[in-house]
Structure 1
Amino acid sequence: MPKFIFSLVAAFFMAQAAIAQDMAYIQIEAQPSLTRAEDRARDYASVLNDVNGFSLGGGWYGLALGPYPRAEAEALLRQLRGNGQVPRDSYIEEPGQYGRQFWPVGAALNAPRPQPVPQVETPELPQQAVQTPAAPAVVDETPRQARASEAQLTRAEREELQIALRWAGVYNAGIDGAFGRGTRGSMAQWQRDNGFEATGILTTRQRADLLKQYNAVLDGMGLRQVTESKAGITMQLPMGIVAFDHYEAPFVHYTPTTDFDARVILISQPGDRDTLYGLYEIMQTLEIVPLEGPRERQRNSFTLTGSNARITSHTEARVVNGTIKGFTLVWPAGDEERRTRVLAEMQKSFATTPAVLDPAQFKDDAQNIDLVAGLNVRRPKISRSGFYISRDGSVATTSEATQQCARITLDGEHEATVIASDPDLGIAVLRPASQLAPISVASFRQTPPRLQSEVAISGYSFGGVLSAPTVTYGTLQDLRGLSGDERLERLAVNAHPGDAGGPVYDTGGAVLGMLLPRDEGGKQLPDEVSFAADANTLREFFGTLGVTIDPAAAATPMAPEDLTRLASGMTVLVSCWE
């Protein structure tokens, strides 16, 4: 009796182990929170059968289809990938890799429990050691079986393996889907690196392991095929970190759902090549397209890539049958591996339908000069004033406007570089990238001005909000700073921060100084107190650079409108960009 019972128990466990070895799941997604994982499981369960949710450990939760016999799971995975019903990074997983089940709801509670075995009185037998049957070792495919399963791969699947081998650092040849000597050698090296026999032919399980390693970077991204019917665009989007927010023609906005500050903007509008070229120019004015990066405009398409210390963005758009379709992916800086992988999936899956956003239907009636269809127009990090000091277009400005700039512009369009700067004096000199022809150039006063005489400052008081400089009148209070610095002049004038770097005139239009930023040194000064670097200090500084400046001739006082005209042709908006 006991031997018979032991035989039955051993046979049962061996059968269960054999069955378990032949079963597999299709791992389709992982999420970093249980709430989000339950939401995604609910979404998948509305369109797919056999959806399960398991704890993966480390605060992650996985969604999987199954279990199925392994061959059936592999065939179903290919079918679902081909139909775009599951992410392309889905893979075959063993049942033993999963922890507690949370989906379907109650699955773990309703799982059958082992029933207690009734106690049977049996005669006491001599003690014998009972050998518990060992679970059979997991047997992988032989090289011959591996080659046979490999032959069933599509070209795209073979190329995907080469891409994964390149990512693993063992393959550096072309991605052609042909498993020649180079690919076989890289497979053997990957096998050695991962503790497998180096046969040069990956088994089904090894291929799954390789792709699992390769796709681990996408865990939590929730890549999913999304069809935006109103915009006429379908593509893979990282729905684990973004969600639809609103329409505002020509854009569909997908905004972050986590602390990971990524976003996607879909582009959809009626138009032709001229519309495309206009969009190309407009996109480059937006904050989400940093200045640094390659730009390429072709006959019927364009791409824009930009990076700064905060973000990297990629925009592409094309003309499609009388419409403009495209997208922008904005990603936090410093996360290039995930960004490039997500971008590649988006590009690979991008497709269009005839539908297009109607500008009349999807528009925001609220007007804001700082926004284009809900996106911020790029603004400089600081704007100050400057003025032409020579006929070649050299500009004097405050050094405050030139610190830590990726790019400096004059009047918002002319690139310029710093040729000299003295932060102690607060002075900098800029040279335009291409020679300019100023309307007016500063002429400097040769003699000290009279105290209490009338002066005027010219500058972009409001940082470029107005298209022309403003002229503000005041008086000269002292030829020294508060601490006796003879390089400074003290003025009584109501200046704004944007005026700093602008010229200070006497009533005849001669420049007697350059307005400096207000720096009270910890002192609370009246609002009308400002300081300027005097003409002699400016002359000496410019002289060290070989810049020839014009002396001012004796002149009679100018009418205010004449002084305004002179200042308008001489004063420059200096902008510092990230």
Structure 2
Amino acid sequence: MLRRTVAGLALWVAMAGALAAQDGQVWVQVEALPTIDRARLSAEGYSEQLPDVAGYYIGSGWYAVALGPYTPEEGEAVLENLKAEGLIPGDSTLADGSQFQQQFWPANAPSTGVAASSDNAEAQDPAALPAAPTAPVAIPEESFAEAQASEAALSRGEKEQLQAALQWAGVYQGGIDGAFGSGTRAAMSAWQSQNGHQPTGVLDSRQRAELLGAYNAILDDMGLETVRDETAGIEIELPMALLGAPMTEAPFVRYAATDGSPAQVVLISQPGDQSRLAGLYEIMQTLEVVPEEGPRERTDEAFMIEGQDTSIHSTTYAWLVDGQIKGFTLVWPAGDEDRRARLVDTMRASFRRLPGVLDPAAGDPGEDQAADLVSGLQVRQPQRTATGFYVDAQGTVVTTADAVGQCSEITLDEATPARVLGTDPALNLAVLQPQSALAPRVVAGFRATIPRIGTEVAVAGYPYGGALALPALTFGTLADVRGLNGEEAVRRLDLSAQAGDAGGPVLDESGAVIGMLLPRGTGAQVLPDDVSYALDAQTIQAELAQAGITGSVSEDTASLGAEKLTRDVAGLTVLVSCW
């Protein structure tokens, strides 16, 4: 059948329900959940978009959320259309209602009218169903067949959590994949034997509760609650005893810790496709809450990022389904690995996609917004920045040795990784080689002759780090062709430069490079504010030659004018970041 709009589908579903015959009727079973609290929340969520939502106790401590009733033909059509529209899970099925017992949704529902076995006392006795959402649910005993049925209703995340619990219990060594193969079955049998149960290889509902209860005991003081964010379209268990009120700024909903610790949770919700998922994957890795060290995986439909440093350990999952990207990040203090790993498992197992996604314009950034924030999250900042400039067509860069000392990573213009090709600490000169191909628009042309004292000069640099997209020009004059102590390799400038300008090219009026600006302080010597030093062009060229690089020489002497000079230095000058 043709795809319909949500409103059109809802109307059509209602009509199908009205036409359903009582004989041979079927239901679309959307979910089966192990607690009445979660089942009520699920039914409430579906009822906001679809009619004929009902909830039934189905025995063995499980609760079904269903749509209907319909005739078999209508039920099949409703199932396929709602799955195609992404309004119900892809594993939704048709049910004949034989397992439906006491109806718990809607709350004021009359007798269900669903046939139940006359010898099923639990189905006939409404007292068997917990009346209050907060009341603990007693888990009945199950036969082997009932245990198999209740296990089959588990989500993949819940199955993965069981495998993680078996691994924690020391009986399972396999992968956490949600697939119950021979290894998982053997682990279940071993756990049953160790805990006084018959080793059937299938855990019943009581045994699963026992195993998970012991596994999750470490989380008891966290106040785990099922949080249902209708705006973001996400349901998930969160440690709300530790977290404050949510702050929404698309595509994130952020929960910060209330005790001042670095712990926080970020829910991810945005419309998108494979390209936007890939973009989000890159953006997440620029954030402070995602340290650089750690495994990363990405496919066309999902990604996982783990990051760890001395302060925090974070884990991010995101999935693309039906044009919507949803996921979460858990940020946790480093050194508390047991609770962190357990909490990640719980969050992933409980993660549910609800209808809806954050509006890209959602949230009010207010006065706290800044250029170094992404939707309220701090972008990772380098240890320091400096300036450099291109000296050949392959993108080789020169800068100061101070700029790249003790860096775990060096980037050019915040995007291209680079390595140190050579360095001379005595001259405070470093030569950098990009680790991916670059094609500079402008390459330095070194002045062939010594400039005349009094020549007007300009320094191009990034005095404010990456805050400005283009380099700034600072103008001055050549005060001397030597240093104050007669140093031959430097030029003295009458020019007030800032720290971030160090490493930038010093140019004459023709745009020829006469030197590289040096940092203002060298050891115990600090120059006056209006005095700067530049390493001269000839010394730079000699160092490049030792590294196997031939610098270009400029023969032009005509003045470029301020406008063209400004345009040229934008292609010549590079922001060097030390991470």
Q: Give 2:242's aligned residue.
A: 241
**Counterpart of 2:467 in 1: which secondary structure?**
coil
Q: Give 1:443's aligned residue.
A: 445
- State the 1:187 CA deviation: 5.9
Q: Give 2:231's aligned residue.
A: 230
Aligned mates of 2:183, 2:307 — CA distance in 1: 37
| CA contact 2:294–2:305 (8 Å) conserved in 1 | yes
Q: Residues 352, 385 of structure 1: CA spacing in aligned structure 2 closer, same or farther, 3 A cutoff?
A: same
**501, 507, 510: which is aligned to 1:508?**
510
Q: Give 1:533's aligned residue.
A: 535
Q: Residues 481, 414 of structure 1: CA spacing in aligned structure 2 closer, same or farther, 3 A cutoff?
A: same
Q: Residues 322, 508 of structure 1: CA spacing in aligned structure 2 closer, same or farther, 3 A cutoff?
A: closer
Q: Residues 436, 255 of structure 1: CA spacing in aligned structure 2 closer, same or farther, 3 A cutoff?
A: same
**Counterpart of 2:237 in 1: which secondary structure?**
strand
Aligned mates of 1:574, 1:436 — CA distance in 2: 15
Q: Residues 447, 464 of structure 1: CA spacing in aligned structure 2 closer, same or farther, 3 A cutoff?
A: same
Q: Residues 394, 267 of structure 1: CA spacing in aligned structure 2 closer, same or farther, 3 A cutoff?
A: same
The amino acid across from 2:343 in the alignment is V
Deviations 1:10-42 (A, max 9, x none): xxxxxxxxxxxxxxxxxxxxxxxxxxxxxxxxx
Aligned mates of 2:161, 2:352 — CA distance in 1: 20
**Counterpart of 1:244 in 2: which secondary structure?**
coil
Q: CA RMSD in A?
A: 4.4
Deviations 1:207-265 (A, max 9, x none): 99987774454354333322223333211112232222322233221001224311111
Aligned mates of 1:161, 1:464 — CA distance in 2: 47
The amino acid across from 2:219 in the alignment is L
Deviations 1:158-190 (A, max 9, x none): 9867644533556424674868996499769x9
**Counterpart of 1:243 in 2: which secondary structure?**
coil
Q: Give 1:543's aligned residue.
A: 545
Deviations 1:552-576 (A, max 9, x none): 4363444333433332332112222
**Counterpart of 1:242 in 2: which secondary structure?**
coil
- State the 1:350 CA deviation: 0.4
Aligned mates of 1:314, 1:463 — CA distance in 2: 30
**Counterpart of 1:464 in 2: which secondary structure?**
helix
Q: Would you say 1:399 and 2:426 are equivalent positions?
A: no
Aligned mates of 1:230, 1:181 — CA distance in 2: 40
Look at both structures and tell me which one has the larger radius of gyration over its CA atoms. 1
Q: Residues 565, 163 of structure 1: CA spacing in aligned structure 2 closer, same or farther, 3 A cutoff?
A: closer
Q: Give 1:372's aligned residue.
A: 374
Aligned mates of 1:323, 1:339 — CA distance in 2: 27
Aligned mates of 2:291, 2:184 — CA distance in 1: 42
**Counterpart of 1:339 in 2: which secondary structure?**
helix
**Identity of aligned pairs, percent?**
49
Q: Give 1:264's aligned residue.
A: 265
Aligned mates of 1:326, 1:160 — CA distance in 2: 17
- State the 1:394 CA deviation: 0.6
Q: Give 1:345's aligned residue.
A: 346
Q: Give 1:565's aligned residue.
A: 567
Alignment of 1:385-464 (within 5 A): 385-464=387-466
Aligned mates of 1:159, 1:413 — CA distance in 2: 37
Deviations 1:437-456 (A, max 9, x none): 22222232344333333222
Q: Residues 228, 169 of structure 1: CA spacing in aligned structure 2 closer, same or farther, 3 A cutoff?
A: same
Aligned mates of 1:533, 1:515 — CA distance in 2: 6
Q: Residues 276, 499 of structure 1: CA spacing in aligned structure 2 closer, same or farther, 3 A cutoff?
A: same
**Counterpart of 2:244 in 1: which secondary structure?**
strand
| CA contact 1:85–1:225 (8 Å) conserved in 2 | no
Aligned mates of 2:485, 2:164 — CA distance in 1: 68
- State the 1:386 CA deviation: 0.7
- State the 1:308 CA deviation: 4.5
Aligned mates of 2:208, 2:359 — CA distance in 1: 46
Q: Residues 513, 335 of structure 1: CA spacing in aligned structure 2 closer, same or farther, 3 A cutoff?
A: farther
Aligned mates of 1:418, 1:455 — CA distance in 2: 29
- State the 1:293 CA deviation: 4.7
Aligned mates of 2:490, 2:312 — CA distance in 1: 42
- State the 1:327 CA deviation: 1.8
Deviations 1:329-355 (A, max 9, x none): 223345444333211111110012224
Aligned mates of 1:305, 1:85 — CA distance in 2: 38
Aligned mates of 1:449, 1:395 — CA distance in 2: 23
Deviations 1:83-128 (A, max 9, x none): 99889xxx9xxxxxxxxxxxxxxxxxxxxxxxxxxxxxxxxxxxxx
- State the 1:433 CA deviation: 1.7
Deviations 1:385-444 (A, max 9, x none): 111112221110122332343432222322222212233422111111223222222232
Q: Give 1:19's aligned residue.
A: none
Aligned mates of 2:211, 2:300 — CA distance in 1: 40
Q: Give 1:33's aligned residue.
A: none
Aligned mates of 2:433, 2:493 — CA distance in 1: 29
Aligned mates of 2:541, 2:358 — CA distance in 1: 59
| CA contact 2:189–2:200 (8 Å) conserved in 1 | no
What TM-score comes out, normalization by structure 2 length? 0.63
**Counterpart of 2:439 in 1: which secondary structure?**
coil
* Count of residues paired in the alignment: 436
Q: Residues 276, 437 of structure 1: CA spacing in aligned structure 2 closer, same or farther, 3 A cutoff?
A: closer
Task: Give ranges in structure 1 of 5+ residues lacking alignment.
Answer: 1-78, 92-147
Aligned mates of 1:292, 1:174 — CA distance in 2: 23
Alignment of 1:134-283 (within 5 A): 163-164=164-165, 166-167=167-168, 171-173=172-174, 176=180, 183=187, 214-215=215-216, 217-218=218-219, 220-270=221-271, 276=277, 279-283=280-284
**Counterpart of 2:521 in 1: which secondary structure?**
coil
Q: Residues 85, 544 of structure 1: CA spacing in aligned structure 2 closer, same or farther, 3 A cutoff?
A: farther
Q: Residues 566, 373 of structure 1: CA spacing in aligned structure 2 closer, same or farther, 3 A cutoff?
A: closer
| CA contact 2:163–2:184 (8 Å) conserved in 1 | no
Aligned mates of 2:317, 2:207 — CA distance in 1: 36
**Counterpart of 2:222 in 1: which secondary structure?**
coil
| CA contact 1:173–1:182 (8 Å) conserved in 2 | no
**Counterpart of 2:436 in 1: which secondary structure?**
coil
Q: Give 1:331's aligned residue.
A: 332
- State the 1:550 CA deviation: 2.2
- State the 1:312 CA deviation: 3.5
Alignment of 1:103-122 (within 5 A): none
Aligned mates of 2:287, 2:410 — CA distance in 1: 17
- State the 1:277 CA deviation: 5.1
What TM-score comes out, normalization by structure 1 length? 0.63
Comparing 338-347 with 152-161, greater Cα deviation is found at: 152-161
Q: Give 1:318's aligned residue.
A: 319
